Structure 1
């Protein structure tokens, strides 16, 4: 059995190999590790540690090179035990906050977020639009326009605003308008969209027969808005060109990776394993769900709150990625997106 001191030393050697290989893309030799990392031992001792790490599958020797590179197993151990998630600098955090503060609606938040992630990580960024099956109704409003037209407004907890014009069979009186507003809010406020749809539809029978044609027209439009939001599962993609910077990291070419990322179901599957804003999901190489993406890693998390996670975001890049920096950027952007939407 290897002593604790030797175990810690081997972990330090593995950490150094991962950090150097990510930075240089060159296989790492024992002398370079001693020179650059101050490990406090001789190159011969480091070579022995590297031999054990290679035997256990954490590093490998590519071709006939004298250096070693991390394997997927090595990256996994690095992420699980060795990587310290970096803190973004003050200017970086302020830049994220100010960039997202300028967003005017949910679409704008998502598009800004995907650009931010791609710029911060130099990877392919993925941001799922709020999964609105989990959204609740924040506000419902009926606004009279001109003649027999009214504007129905739905605002969800995800921040989405849906506005629809309804043509009524006759003018909506002030008394009925006030009553209808109150009942719609009472039935829908705080409800999940699917539940709100049912509750609002049940209201029709509670009005007088003479009022029901007007109420039905408005309620029907509102329930359509609920249904449309439940069907929304879009994913925004940004920074695909960043993969070209890592062309040699892929066994054949980057083309199969880019083709896989064009598939909507692939994107949802990659992001789908993230379940909580407080945790990061990291899938390395063959741990992912698709063979075409076996040379990539995914870092993802959800945004929103622990009680109400809205959707997921993350990045896809080669397994030779800066895991601490990428994890920090994903976590920070998710936190700010959640705050922006809640505000």
Structure 2
């Protein structure tokens, strides 16, 4: 679609805009590209790039800035990642929640933007279950996972149960079903419900449903660090409505979850340019993300959220290295 000269000029324009944050004029572009071209020739090429929707001209300036399409072409075909030595502290093997929080902070500190990590998808296996009677027909279910993670759920039952009955049900579940995934327990209970006393079967079913709910809720955990870094980004500080939209995105964690879910389905680092699709609906924001693994299995995603005008080559390295650090820390924590 573009000849070599147009590609070179587009690359120079994007790099200059990322570095300076100012619309790029033809004279600046001539110097930045290193091409011996007249100002008229450069203006013609820029006009062609504008017609193709790769650059745009803000009303207040004679210079041009990249569009989402221009950024996309740049990161897909022109970006060269210079491997630089990043001083990254190691992430110690710890409880998964601590590793995730540390990783979000590390991404934020290295990038000076926003670090975001989707917590590992845990298997819905329970090691131990207990019941505590809170009041009539109101119980606390305590579920302990194989890695020691404890989840508490309040459930409401149709009948009232004594503490002795609750102990009997907990013993049944722990003796016969511990170590199985919640889905397997549910299937087995369906088959065995005839041989269990009515009240015990009903309570076991309620406990399994509560465990399943707790599992699905724990899947939705997104840890965000460094939102305040966006306050010092000129692209946002000049227009508070942009900043407000960015903070709305962090509030809408479900949207972030969808984005991170998409990136966990691909290998390696992915770049989402703001405004090019509904995945990142804000033109001012871009996301660089990567999945991370535990023992070779992809279990979550992490990334950096920053202005569309971010140094993508450096962000790619930061995200790539952090994903490897998280993978190592979680794989060694047993």
Q: Distance in 1 between matches of 2:301 and 2:95?
A: 18
Summarize the alignment of residues 136-151 of structure 1 with structure 2, pairs less than 5 Å apart: 140=127
SS of the residue aligned with 1:236?
strand
- Count residues in correspondence: 303
Shift of 1:258: 0.9
Shift of 1:163: 5.2
> Over aligned residues, Cα RMSD in angstroms?
4.1
Matching of residue 7 in structure 1 with residue 26 in structure 2: no
Shift of 1:161: 2.8
1:194 corresponds to: 182
1:336 corresponds to: 325
**Worse overlay, 48-57 or 276-285:** 276-285
Matching of residue 127 in structure 1 with residue 127 in structure 2: no
SS of the residue aligned with 2:289?
strand
Matching of residue 55 in structure 1 with residue 51 in structure 2: yes
8 Å Cα contact 1:129-1:311 kept in structure 2? yes
Shift of 1:64: 4.4
Shift of 1:228: 2.6
Q: Distance in 1 between matches of 2:192 and 2:322?
A: 43
Q: Distance in 1 between matches of 2:248 and 2:16?
A: 30
Any idea what the Cα deviations from partners look like across 1:181-232, whole Å, max 9, x if unmatched?
A: 8x868x64xxxx3345448869999xxx9xxx9xxx99x9899666533321
Q: Distance in 1 between matches of 2:221 and 2:299?
A: 13
2:66 corresponds to: 70
SS of the residue aligned with 2:3?
helix
Q: Distance in 2 between matches of 1:10 and 1:131?
A: 45
1:33 corresponds to: 29
SS of the residue aligned with 1:310?
strand
Matching of residue 260 in structure 1 with residue 256 in structure 2: no
Q: Distance in 1 between matches of 2:104 and 2:84?
A: 17
Query: What TM-score does the superposition give when structure 1 sets the normalisation length?
Result: 0.71
Q: 2:301 aligns with which of 309, 312, 328?
A: 312
Shift of 1:248: 3.4
Shift of 1:70: 0.7
The runs of 5 or more residues in structure 2 that have no matched partner are: 130-141, 153-162, 165-170
Distance 1:290 1:79, change over 3 A: closer
Distance 1:236 1:281, change over 3 A: same
Query: What TM-score does the superposition give when structure 2 sets the normalisation length?
Result: 0.73
Distance 1:262 1:152, change over 3 A: closer
Distance 1:221 1:339, change over 3 A: farther
Q: 1:228 aligns with which of 201, 214, 218?
A: 214
SS of the residue aligned with 1:313?
strand
The runs of 5 or more residues in structure 1 that have no matched partner are: 143-150, 170-176
Shift of 1:118: 0.9
2:139 corresponds to: none
Shift of 1:47: 2.9
Q: Distance in 2 between matches of 1:31 and 1:282?
A: 30
Q: Distance in 2 between matches of 1:288 and 1:114?
A: 25
Distance 1:90 1:242, change over 3 A: closer
2:232 corresponds to: 245
Distance 1:88 1:231, change over 3 A: farther
Q: Distance in 1 between matches of 2:234 and 2:28?
A: 25
